[in-house]
Structure formats: C-alpha cells, structure tokens
Amino acid sequence: MQTDRDAKEEAFEQDKTEIYISDHYIFHYRAGSVAEKDIKFIAETQEKCFSKICSSLKVDYTEKIDYFLTESPLEIGRVIWEEEAPCNGCALCGRNKVYATYNNNIKCIGSHEDTHLISFLMNFPESDFVVEGLAMYMDGLWW
C-alpha cells in the first residue's frame, strides 16, 4: 500500500524528466535547469567522490545511485519532513536515492549524501554523530 510519503516521493521524482547516466549514477533533473547546464561537471564530481568513498570504506557498491537534482530546498523538505522546512540534500538509505538541491546559489554535490548511502551497506549506526561525522569526514570539512 502506498503511503503519503511514497506518493510525495513519486511526484517529486516524476517531474525530473531529463536523465544523464554515468558509471555509478542515474541523474534526474528538469530541462532548462542549472543542473542540466552543469550535468557533466556534476557527474564527474560524483564519480570522483564515489571512488574515494568506496576505496576508503573498502566497499564494492554495484548498484547505480538515483540522484535527483532540484532547484529548491523547500521541495526536498516537503517530501522528507512533510512540512515547509528546507533541506539542501538527503540520502534515502535502503532506497538507493539522493535528493539534492542544485541552483545558482546552492550546489549540494560531493561526498556527503553518497557516504550515507554507501556506508549503509556496512552498518547504519544509531548515533547521528557517527553517521554525520563520517559524511563530514568524506567531505573534507570540519567546523
């Protein structure tokens, strides 16, 4: 039975009609978007990140990741949080999907969300500190 969240995910995904396929990703985006203009750069960036993550974690990830690029963090927030809360990016572990904002001001690409997906194969710790710490480490960012 389809839940309300499943329906929202389906609607979110269906309007990303353009597709670009790389070695490990299927990118979905809207025609005329900033993502469409930069799609080769996005794919190259994610492929480098994918290799780094898999090598570091010693994981053989064989499935392609569905990567949905949108212009608005509010659009992701409505699906994930079911309210008007912005969200720049989100990994749907177990579903092999990433939702990411990509516009002139926000470019939510890189290792972070992919680290969540790929590390999920090994284990999904209950501690948010471990989950986010690993993703931030792979980003190469520390606050």
Judge contact between 27 and 36, C-beta under 8 A. Answer: no
Residue 66's pLDDT is 94
Can you name the residues that pair with 18 across neighbouring β-strands?
29
- Report the largest interatomic distance among the alpha carbons of the chain, rounded to a whole angstrom: 42
For residue 133, how far is the Cα from the chain centroid?
Answer: 17
Task: Give the pLDDT of residue 101.
Answer: 96
CA angle 18, 24, 29 (to 5 degrees): 20
| Intervals of the chain under pLDDT 70 | 1-2, 4-5, 82-83, 124-125, 127, 141-143
The whole-number pLDDT of residue 82 equals 65
Determine the pLDDT at residue 125.
66
pLDDT for 95: 85
Q: Whole-model pTM?
A: 0.88
pLDDT at 142: 59
**What does the radius of gyration of the chain's CA atoms come to, in whole angstroms?**
15
